[in-house]
Structure 1
Amino acid sequence: MSSEPGPGLPFLPGCAFRDPMKTSFHRSQTLGYKNGFAFPRLPTVGIGRERLYVNQLSQAELDELSNKRPTLTYGRAKQAPPSGFIPAHVALDKKILKFDAYFQEDVPLSAEEHYRIRQVGIYYYLEDDSMTVIEPVVQNSGLPQGRLIRRHRVPKNDCGDHYHWKDLNRGMNITMYGRTYRIVDCDPFTQVFLESQGIELNPPEKMVFDPYTELRRMPMRKYITPSDFDQLKQFLTYDKQVLRFYATWDDTNSVFGENRPYIIHYYLADDTVEIREVYRQNDGRDLFPVLIKRQRLPKTFVDKKKTFPSCVLEISDQEVLEWYTAKDFAVGKSTTLLGRTFFIYDCDGFTRNFYRDKFGITDFQPVEIDKKPLEKVPQESPNPEDRKRRFILSYFLSNDMISIYEPPVRNSGIIGGKYLGKTRVAKPGSTTENATYYEPSDLTIGSTIEVFGHRFVITDADEYVLNYMENNAESFPAATLQSLRDHFRPRQVVKETANSDIPMLGTHKQELDELIVQVQEELKLHKYLNNKNIREAFLQCDKDGSGILDQAKFLALCNSLSVPTDAILLNKLIDLCSCGEDKINYRDFLRAFPS
C-alpha cells in the first residue's frame, strides 16, 4: 500500500495514512535575517521538507489582498505601498545635540573668592535619549574635572519622567541631580535640528567667566627699553667669586641674648647671600653653621597685604621691588637681613679689591668691636623650701670623693635620688691653678659644705664615723673628733640609763617620738611591708615576753622581713631602742609599725 493517500480518496478523518518510514519532522523557518535585521517569510517546504502543492503567493500579493476592501461605486481603493522601515538607532546614529552651559559653585573657605563659575558641555544622544555632562579639563586647576554625569537617561522629576530633547532650549535653566545648569548656546547642528522639529529657539546668551580666574591673569610687564642684563654673562664672569664680610648680631636685648659673630657671603654669580655662624671651642652651642641658607634676599617689598598663601610661598619678582646687591654692604654700616640687623666691621682682601675696582671705594678701616661687660646677677636668698630637705653625704677615704643622695619624700614635690655623683669637691675660693678640696677634717657636726654653689649643713652622722675617728685619732683634728663626741654623748647617756633600769628621760622620750613619726613617713614609700606580719614575727621570737632581743637575732629577723635597716632614720631608731650591749628593746621599735 502507498504511504501517501490517493488522489481520489477524500481527506477525511480515518482516511489519512501515515508513512512509517518517515523520521524527519522539521518545520520550515519563517524568520530570516538580512543586513542584521529580522524579517518574516513564507515557508517553502512542509514538515520534514515535503513538497507543498498549494499556490505560493509573494509578500506583495498577500499585502495587496489584505488591503482590498469592497466598494459600491468607485471600485476597490488601492493603498500605496508602505515605505521601508528604518529603526531609530540607525536613523539617528551618531546624531548628538550639544549645548554650552555653566553652573555656579560656592567657595566658603576663601578670602578672595566667594563663588566659582564652571563651564560645561551638555550632550544629548538622539538614538537613545541619553544625556551626559562633560567639563573641559583645565591644567593645574585642582578640581575633579572631566565627565561630571555619565551617559544615561536623566530623570526629570519624581514621577518617572526623563528629559527629552523637546525640554532643552537656549537661555534656560535645567536641574540635574540637585545642580542647576544655565544653557547659554548650542552648536549649528543642534540649532538646525530643533528648528526642523518646529521648536522656536531663544536668543543665545554670553558665557559667564570665573571672576577669580580673570583676576589671576596678571598683565605682562611692558618694558620701555630692552634690558642689557645678561644672567649667563654674569655667571660666566663672576663664577666662584664670593665677597666675605665679618659681622656681628647684637641680640643682648632678648632673654639670654648675646653679641654673636657671623660671616656674610655674597655670591657675585647670581646675587645670592649666605650667613654662617662662627663657633668657638666649648661655646656651649649646637653645631648648626648656616643661619640663612644661600638665597636672594628682598630689600623692598611691593605695598600689598601679606595674606595667605603669599606669606608662606616663595618670594617672586611680583612681590619685591628691590633685591639686595653688592652696593648694599659696606664696612662700618649695619644692614637688616630677614629681620636681623647685622653690623659689618671688616671684610677680606678679595672684597676690598672688588669694591676698589668696581665702585672706587678705598676706605676699609676695620671697626673695633667692644664687648659689653657682663652684668652681675644679684645673689638671691636661699629658698625656704630647701630647709626641710634632707641629704646623705658620703665621703670616700680611698679617693677623697664625695657623693650626695636625697631620700625620696612622698608628696614633697621634689624628685629624690642621686643628687651628686662621686666627684672631688673644691672649696670656695679655690682656683684651677691652686685648687683645694674638702677633707675629712672639714666634715664636723654643724659645719657648712658648699658644693658647686649649694650649701649643705651637716646635722648628723652614723656611729661608724665616730668609731673610725676614735681608732685613728692621730689622723684627724681634735676639733672634728670632739664635735662627733658631743653629738653622740646624749645617746650614750640613754644607753647607760637603759642598762641601769632608770626610767626614760623626758627629752629622750620626746626625741624617740619625733623620730618614730619621721620613720613612719619614710616607711610609707615601702608599700611591700606588712606591719601585721612584722609585729607577729617579733612577738613569736620573744619566748619569755621580756620585750628585749639580741641584736644579732633582731637584725636577722629584720632582714627576713625585708625591713630597710640600711636607712639612716631606721639606724637612728635602732640606736635609741638599744638597751645595753647587743640588746634591743623591740617594743619601742614596733611603734613605727602600727597595726
Structure 2
Amino acid sequence: MSSEPGPDLPFLPGYAFRDPMKTSFHRSQTLGYKNGFAFFRLPTVGIGGERLYVNQLSQAELDELADQRPLLTYGPPKQAPRSDFIPAHVAFDKKILKFDAYFQEDVYNSTEEQYRIRQVAIYYFLEDDSLTIIEPVVKKAGFLQGRLLRRHRVPKNDQGEPYHWKDLNRGMNITMYGRTYRIVDCDPFTQGFLESQGIELNPPEKIPLDPYTELHRTRMRKFITPSDFDQFKQFLIYDKQVLCFYAMWDDTNNMFGENRPFIIYYYLADDTVEVREVHKKNDGRDPFPVLIRRQRLPKTLVDNKNTFPSCVMETTDQEVLEWFTAKDFAVGKSTTLLGRTFFIYDCDEFTRNFYRDKFGITDFQPVEIKKKQPEEVPLVVPPYNGFGTLEDSLQNCFSLIPKPPRKDIIKMLENDQKVLRYEVVLETPNPEDRKRRFILSYSLSDDMISIYEPPSRNSGIIGGKYLRKTRVAKPGSTTDNATYYEPSDFTIGSTVEVFGHRFIITDADEYVLNYMESNAARFPAATLQSLRDHFRLRRVAKEPANSDIPSKPGLEELIAQVQEELKLHKYLNNKKIWEAFLQCDKDGCGILNKARFLTICDNLSVPTSAVLVSRLIDLCSCGEDNINYHDFLRAFPV
C-alpha cells in the first residue's frame, strides 16, 4: 500500500491515510531574531520536515511587494519611510491601568455584622500584562490589609489564558483565585486608553456602604454632647504647653519619713495634672518616677450622705463639684492632691510668663528649702588582713565588686624587661645560713622584688625560687602610709628586710651601675657612690694580677703559702677585707700606716700572729711605719 493517498481517493473523514513508518511530527520554527528583535517568519518545511508543495514567496519577495506602490500618471511614487519598531516594554513602560473595585467578605461568629465591604484597587501593567491588587490600609481595622495579590499574569480560565486589558471594564465582575471583585470605576488615564482602543466603557457605579462602619458612625453621632466650652479650640491653642512647678512633700511626721522632692506638671491642653518624683543617685528608692499619672484631679467632691460603701474606685463627673485648674497652683502655697500635701517652692520660666500674661501675677519669689544635711560617715579602712597585696585588699573597701588597682601603663612600657639584680646574703646567727647566696631581682616596670637562690652542690639546701614577685614594704610601713623599697634603697652593704628575713647586699650587676649613671638625676648621690666604690674595688683587685710591675723576691711563693694556710680560716670574708682597706685609703695611694693596718686586721679577725702572715706583712712593709696593702691583699683573692 502506498504511504500517500492517491489522487482519486476522496479526502473525506474516514478516508485519510497515515503513514505508520513516520515518527517525526515536529513543526518548524516560525520565530526569528533580527537586530536583537523577534519577528515572525513563514515555515520553510512541513510537519516532521516534509516538503511543502505550495508556492511560497521568500521574505525578500514579500518585502519587495510591500515596498511597491502603484504607478501614478504624474510620476514614480515616493517610497514611504518604514516605521521604527518599538518593543512593548518600551512603548508601555510605566503605563498602568487603575480600576476601583470592591469585594464582599462574609463574617462569622459576630452579632453586629454578617459581611463587610472591602475596597481595593486593581492595577494592570501594560508592559507585561500583569496584575496586582492592593487594599488601602485602614488603622485599627482588625485584619490584614495591603497587597492582596502580588504582581503577575493572572489566569482567567482553566486553559491558563491570562487576563488582558480587553477583559476589564466598569460595571463587571472579575474572579481571581476564587474571589470575585466588582469593578466600579477607573481613573482618567484608563478611561482614555480604553476608549482610544475602541472599547465602550460602562457607566461608573458607587461602592456600597459597609454596614459595620455605618453603625459605628451612627453610634458616634448619638453620644456627642453639646457643650458651651470648645475643648478642641483649647487643645489647638495650648497643645504641648505645660506648666511646671517644683514642690516638696513633707513626710517627716511618719515613721522613717523624709522630705521628698516632686515636680507637678499641669497640661493646659486638657487641664490634666501629673506628679513625678525626683530621684537621686543612691537614694534607696525604686525607680518609679510617676507618683500620680496624668489625669484630671478633683478639688471638691459632692457630700454624699450615703454611708453604704461604693463598689467602684473611679470618680465620675457627677461626684465632683470642682476640678483643679491653673488658678489653684501658686509659688509659696501648699496644695493637697489626692490626700498628699505638696508645698510649691518654685516654677520654671514658661510658667512665670503664663501667669504674668494670663492672671497678672508678678510675685514669683522662690522659697528656699532648708535641707538638713546628713552627717558624713568617715570611711574607716580596716586593718590589713595579710591576704594578697595591700592595694588589692584596699579595693574591697571601696566597692562591693572590687576592681583591680590601676597600673602605670607608661611606666610598664618604658621599663619593660628592665631588671636590677643584686647578690644578697642572709643576716642570721645560724652559721649554715651565712654561706647561702641569693639573687635579688628588682623589676623596674612594676616595682616588684623576687629572690632566687642558686642551687649549690653538697650544701644540703635545695635552691630555687625563694620569693615570688611581690612588692615589699619597708620596715615600719603602715597601711595608711605604705612605703615600698625602691632602687635608691639598694646600696652595697645595706640591709633589706623581706617579711621578717634580713638580707645584706654584697654585690650588684654592672647593668645596675650603668642604669643608675644614665638616670643619675633620679637616684641619690650616696647610692651611686656606693656602687662606684664597689666596682672600683673589683677593678683594683684584678689589676695586681695583670700588672707588669716586678714583685719582691719570694713574695709570690709566700702569697701562695699564705693562701693555702688561710683556707683553714673559713670565717674570713675576703670581700670585706678588700672593702675595709680601700675605704681607709682615701688618697688611693696603696699605702697605709702600720698601726692603722694592724687595727683593721684585728677588726676583721685576720690571723696576723701566724708565722706566714707575719712574714708577708714584713715583706709588704715600706719603711718602719708604712705598709703596701696592695701586695698584702693578693693573699685574699675575691
Q: TM-score, normalised by structure 2?
A: 0.29
